[in-house]
């Protein structure tokens, strides 16, 4: 249970980090918070030849607004984001989802950039970013590109990151002040990865749903939007009956994998129950 | 194998060592510094028994390479008792039977230390949240939570 030997590189700037990543091509891993990577190294599921420790790269851990986006640096820690008033104001869905994320020692080290690069399908933050139409900014020695969250998560612990690229920023559209939100999760113990989780945002215009976004985590190989459910809600009066129909649609449209703690039928039931809860809570927060 | 230099303050004492980069902080504390109070359990961040404070923040010492602590201030369970006198938390764990086998105790003490440094009067829910990060297979947590509450009361009394 000890990691294999590696060469340790500690860049002092983003440029140095990108150069090191380019130089070592497919043999290097970026070390941010290390709360997913180091367990995998200890278990020898991965054994990178080179570790590029970006913890001392300045300017990567900011939380700020830029125009109509909340911008989170890749190295921002979960503990900081969980307590951040800027996040609570501009992406309340993220603040609420953080109630379910891990335990304090893990949150003290773990980063948003590392979390999404690891892309665990039962993790909360990918669902938040998919629900909010966030954009992932990635850089390499060749330049920069942006990837929509929905295209960033491509499979089980797989992302659209290419060799030599690293996440530098996450840009989340600022939530409109009248938008309601809710994040609901079922886990075996508090802080565990989700058996199932639903993140939702809703906007009501005169009692009619004018916008709905519903994302699910813990079901399949990645966080996904439930677009059929969103279509069912939009342009209709958001009464209890519609929410119950949406919950049944969630149950029938998810395609869960069975896991040790939750079989397929149970996960479908969770999708239904959590969708109902999330939509009702989000509706109550609409202004 | 190439080595790296690390300078770290542990429990107020500075140490300089040359180590392999892959050496985990928990192994560094136990093997290089012979501070065996920090225990090692699952070695992948789940059980929490290796939890120490790095620059005041609870951290899994099995998920941090020692080289990453270069320049940092680390506190382990050995920092708590002063001149042979138990800290209020340690005394409270003793009095409230907050341990049975004792394997999880050093880390329970460190997460409780962090909690009380941030909030000297935590709610029951805050205490439960803090200690839930660590696995205990003996006490069922009730006595651990009681011990933290006892420590809060002891610290308050001591200040009056």
Residues 19-48 of A with CB under 8 A from B: 31, 34-35, 38-39, 41-43
- Residue-level pLDDT at B21: 98
Chain B environment of A39 (Cβ under 8 Å):
44-45, 63
Q: What are phi and psi of A226, to 5 degrees?
A: -100, 80
Average pLDDT over residues A179-198: 94
- Out of 1.10.3720.10, 3.40.50.300, 3.10.20.30, 3.40.50.720, the CATH code matching B4-78 is 3.10.20.30
Residues 219-258 of A with CB under 8 A from B: none
A287, pLDDT greater than 80: yes
Would you place residue A193 in the very low, low, confident or very high pLDDT band (cuts 50, 70, 90)? confident
Residue range A180-285, CATH number: 3.30.390.50
**Within chain A, which residue ranges are assigned CATH 3.30.465.10?**
63-173
- Residue-level pLDDT at B1: 67
pTM given for the model: 0.96
Given A6, A31, A190, which is nearest B132 (Cβ)? A190
At A84, is the secondary structure helix, strand, or coil? coil
Give the C-alpha separation, B105 to A203, whole Å. Answer: 49
Given B24, B45, B68, which is nearest A55 (Cβ)? B68
Q: Do B58 and A108 touch (CB under 8 A)?
A: yes
Which whole-number Å values give the CA distances from B137 to A172, B49, B132, B134, in the listed order?
41, 12, 12, 10
Q: Where are the domains of chain B?
A: 4-78, 88-159
How far the first Cα of chain A sits from its last, in Å, is 52
Strand A50-53 to strand A28-31: parallel, antiparallel, or no bridges (unpaired)?
A: parallel
- Residue-level pLDDT at A248: 98
C-beta separation of A32 from A54 below 8 A: yes
Run of H or E including A273:
helix A264-285
pLDDT tens per residue, range A97-140: 999 999 999 999 999 999 999 999 999 999 999 999 999 999 99
Residue range B88-159, CATH number: 1.10.150.120
Other residues' Cβ atoms within 10 Å of the Cβ of residue B28: 25
CA B123 to chain centre: 21
Q: What is the ipTM of this complex?
A: 0.96
Chain A environment of B64 (Cβ under 8 Å):
34, 38, 109
Would you place residue A258 in the very low, low, confident or very high pLDDT band (cuts 50, 70, 90)? confident
Stretches where chain B sits below pLDDT 70 are 1, 160
Given A6, A55, A109, which is nearest B22 (Cβ)? A6
Q: At CA B79, angle to CA B73 and CA B81, rounded to 5?
A: 160
What percentage of chain B has pLDDT greater than the value 90? 94
Average pLDDT over residues A54-64: 98
Q: Does B4-78 match B88-159 in CATH topology?
A: no
Per DSSP, A209 falls in state E
A94, pLDDT greater than 70: yes
- Topology, domain A7-56: 3.30.43
A259, pLDDT greater than 90: no
Average pLDDT over residues A61-82: 98
Phi-psi map region of B135: left, alpha, beta (phi>0 left; psi -120 to 50 alpha): beta
What percentage of chain A has pLDDT greater than the value 70? 100
Confirm or reject CATH 3.40.50.720 for domain A63-173, answering yes or no.
no
Three-state SS string over chain B comes to: CCCEEEEEEECCEEEEEEECCCCEHHHHHHHHCCCCCCCCCCCCCCCCCCEEEECCEEEECCCCEHHHHCCCEEECHHHCCECCECCHHHHHHHHCCCCCCCCCHHHHHHHHHHHHHHCCCCCHHHHHHHHCCCCCCCCCCHHHHHHHHHHHHHHHHHHC
Q: Do B22 and A7 touch (CB under 8 A)?
A: no
Strands annotated E in A187-283: 196-205, 208-217, 224-225
Average pLDDT over residues A191-218: 95
Q: Which residues pair with A66 in a beta bridge?
A: A69
A261, pLDDT greater than 70: yes
**Within chain A, which residue ranges are assigned CATH 3.30.43.10?**
7-56
Nearest CA distance, A82 vs chain B (angstrom): 14
């Amino acid at each position: 249970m000890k990691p294999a030997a590696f060469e340790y590189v500690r860049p002092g700037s983003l440029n140095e980090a990108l150069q090191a990543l380019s130089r070592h091509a497919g043999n290097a891993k970026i070390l941010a918070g290390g709360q997913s990577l180091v367990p995998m190294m200890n278990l020898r599921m991965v054994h990178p030849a080179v570790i590029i420790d970006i913890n001392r790269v300045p300017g990567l851990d900011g939380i700020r607004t830029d125009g109509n986006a909340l911008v989170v640096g890749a190295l921002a820690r979960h503990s900081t984001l969980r307590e951040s008033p800027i996040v609570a104001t501009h992406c309340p869905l993220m603040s609420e989802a953080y109630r379910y994320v891990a335990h304090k020692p893990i949150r003290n080290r773990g980063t948003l950039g590392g979390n999404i690069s690891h892309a665990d399908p039962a993790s909360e933050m990918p669902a938040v970013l998919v629900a909010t139409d966030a954009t992932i900014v990635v850089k390499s020695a060749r330049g920069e590109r942006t990837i929509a969250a929905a295209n960033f998560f491509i499979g089980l612990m797989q992302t659209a990151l290419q060799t030599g690229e690293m996440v530098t920023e996450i840009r989340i559209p600022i939530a409109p002040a009248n938008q309601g939100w809710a994040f609901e999760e079922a886990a075996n113990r508090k802080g565990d990865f989700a058996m199932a989780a639903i993140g939702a945002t809703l906007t009501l215009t005169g009692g009619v749903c004018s916008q709905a976004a519903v994302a699910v985590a813990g079901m399949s190989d990645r966080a996904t939007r439930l677009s059929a459910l969103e279509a069912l809600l939009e342009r209709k009066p958001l009464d209890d009956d519609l929410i119950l129909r949406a919950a049944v649609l969630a149950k029938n449209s998810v395609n869960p994998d069975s896991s040790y703690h939750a079989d397929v039928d149970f996960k479908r039931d969770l999708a239904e129950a959590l969708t109902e809860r999330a939509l009702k809570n989000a509706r109550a927060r609409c202004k | 194998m190439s080595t790296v230099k690390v300078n770290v303050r542990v429990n107020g004492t500075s140490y300089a060592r040359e180590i392999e980069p892959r050496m985990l902080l928990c192994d560094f504390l136990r093997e290089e510094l012979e501070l065996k109070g920090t225990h090692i359990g699952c070695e992948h961040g789940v059980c929490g028994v290796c939890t120490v404070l790095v620059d005041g923040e609870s951290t899994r010492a099995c998920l941090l390479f020692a080289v990453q602590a270069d320049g940092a201030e680390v506190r382990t369970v050995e920092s708590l008792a002063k001149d042979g006198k138990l800290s209020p938390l340690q005394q409270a764990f003793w009095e409230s039977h907050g341990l049975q086998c004792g394997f999880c105790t050093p880390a329970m003490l460190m997460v409780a230390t962090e909690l009380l440094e941030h909030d000297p009067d935590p709610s029951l829910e805050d205490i439960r949240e803090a200690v839930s990060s660590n696995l205990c297979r003996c006490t069922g947590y009730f006595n651990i939570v009681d011990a933290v509450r006892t420590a809060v009361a002891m610290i308050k009394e001591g200040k009056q």
